[in-house]
Amino acid sequence: MAGGQVSDRFPDFPWDTIAAAKMRAAEHPDGLVDLSIGTPVDPTPAVVREALVSAADSPGYPTVLGPEAVRRSIVDWLERRAGVSGLDVDQVLMTMGSKELIANLPTQLGLGPQDTVVIPELAYPTYEVGARYAGCRVVATDSTVAMGPEAPALVYINSPANPHGQVLGLEHLRKVVQWARDRGALLVSDECYLEFGWEDEPVSVLHPDVCGGSHQGLLAVHSLSKRSNLAGYRAAFVAGDRAVIGELLAVRKHLGFMVPTPVQRAMTAALDDDEHVRAQRSTYAARRDALRRALLAAGFRIDHSEASLYLWATRGEPCRATIDWLADRGILAAPGDFYGPRGGEHVRIALTATDERIESAVSRLV
C-alpha cells in the first residue's frame, strides 16, 4: 500500500480532543458559548456581497493568477494599510484561504526530508502539518541562537501571533530577516491579524524599515477571513519575493489552485473599502474589553494579547483543568497545548462570538 496512515503523518486533529468539554458546556441552561474557534460571526459587508453577486454569472474558468485589477487592489492595500512600498502586481498571488497555502507551501516549493522547517514554539498547527506533509524535519523555536549554524529551508513567523496575540517589534523583525537571509532561508510571515492591533502596532515583514526595501527571501501571508468576515469565501493572498511567487504560480497552474471569479471580485471590493474594517474593529474592541475585565475579575491572568482576536489566559493550572472549569460554566475555549508544550497552562479565548454570547459569558464569569 502506498503512503502511510494519517496518524503516522499528522498529529491528532486538535478540536477532536475537546469534544467531551463541548458536550459538557452545551448542557448549561443558557446554552453553549463557544469561544474556541476564531470563526467570524458578524455579517459579511454589503459592499462585498454585492460584488460577489455582480460576478455570479461567471461560466468560464478563472485563472490562478487572476486579473490585474485584483492584484492591483492587493498591492494598493499593502501600501495604504501596511506601509509596504516597491511591490508590483507580479509579486502577489491569490490563494484559497491562508490555511490552504500554509498547508501546501513546503510541498509546492519542492521541500522534502532533506529540509528543515522552523516554526514558532507556540504556533498555528498548520505550520507543522504542512511541513510534515512534505516530509520535512520540523524545529519549534523562537530563538535563532538555538539554531546555531543550521540553515533551514523555510522559517515561519507569526505577528500578531495566534494563539497568544504577541506582536514582534521592528528591531526583532529586522534581525530575523537578516538571520534568514544570511542562511538562504525563505522567511514566511503570517500576518493575518495585522489590522487588529490593540496595545501595539503590528508591522509587516515587507515594510521597508524591516526588509530594507528588498523583498528577496520574504513572503507575507494575508487573509480576508477576519478583517472582512470572509472565512466562508476562502479569500487570501501571499506577497513578496518575485521569484518565489513565480515558482508558486507555475506549480499552482499545474495543480489548478484557482480562486473562483466571484470571490476574486469580492476580494477587490473588500480590499478597496476600509470603512467596514474600522466598524469591525470597534465591535471586536468592545467584546475584548468586556471579556478581559470578566476574566481578570474571575482570577485569570492575561498574557501578551496586545493584538489579534484572542485573549491568552491562565489560572496557573494545567490548561485542560481550565477547560473543564470553563465548561462547567457553559464556555468552551481552546487549550493552550493545541499550539505547543509552552501553552500547557493557558487557554485561548476568541473574541469571535455575538454580542449576546459575549454578554452571556461575562455574566457566567463574574
For residue range 275-290, list pLDDT tens digits in order. 999 999 999 999 999 9
Report the pLDDT value the prediction gives residue 14, as an integer from 0 to 100. 72
Task: Say whether pLDDT at 3 is over 60.
Answer: no
Task: Say whether pLDDT at 6 is over 70.
Answer: no
Report the pLDDT value the prediction gives residue 16, as an integer from 0 to 100. 81
What percent of the chain lies above the pLDDT cut of 70? 96
CATH 3.40.640.10 intervals, the chain: 46-272
* Statement: the pTM of the whole predicted model exceeds 0.75: yes
**Band of the pLDDT at 52, cuts 50, 70, 90?**
very high
Domain topology for 12-43+276-365:
Aspartate Aminotransferase, domain 1 (3.90.1150)
SS3 labels along the chain: CCCCCHHHHCCCCHHHHHHHHHHHHHCCCCCCEECCCCCCCCCCCHHHHHHHHHCCCCCCCCCCCCCHHHHHHHHHHHHHHHCCCCCCHHHEEEECCHHHHHHHHHHHCCCCCCCEEEECCCCCHHHHHHHHHCCCEEEECCCHHHHCCCCCCEEEEECCCCCCCCCCCHHHHHHHHHHHHHHCCEEEEECCCCCCECCCCCCCCCCHHHHCCCCCCEEEEEECCCCCCCHHHCCEEEEECHHHHHHHHHHHHHHCCCCCHHHHHHHHHHHHCCHHHHHHHHHHHHHHHHHHHHHHHCCCEEECCCECCEEEEECCCCHHHHHHHHHCCCEECEEHHHHCHHHCCCEEEECCCCHHHHHHHHHHHC
Task: Say whether pLDDT at 329 is over 70.
Answer: yes
**Band of the pLDDT at 136, cuts 50, 70, 90?**
very high
Average pLDDT of the chain?
95
CATH 3.90.1150.10 intervals, the chain: 12-43+276-365
Report the pLDDT value the prediction gives residue 1, as an integer from 0 to 100. 40
Report the pLDDT value the prediction gives residue 171, as an integer from 0 to 100. 96
Report the pLDDT value the prediction gives residue 7, as an integer from 0 to 100. 53
CATH number 3.40.190.290 is the correct assignment for the domain at 46-272 = no
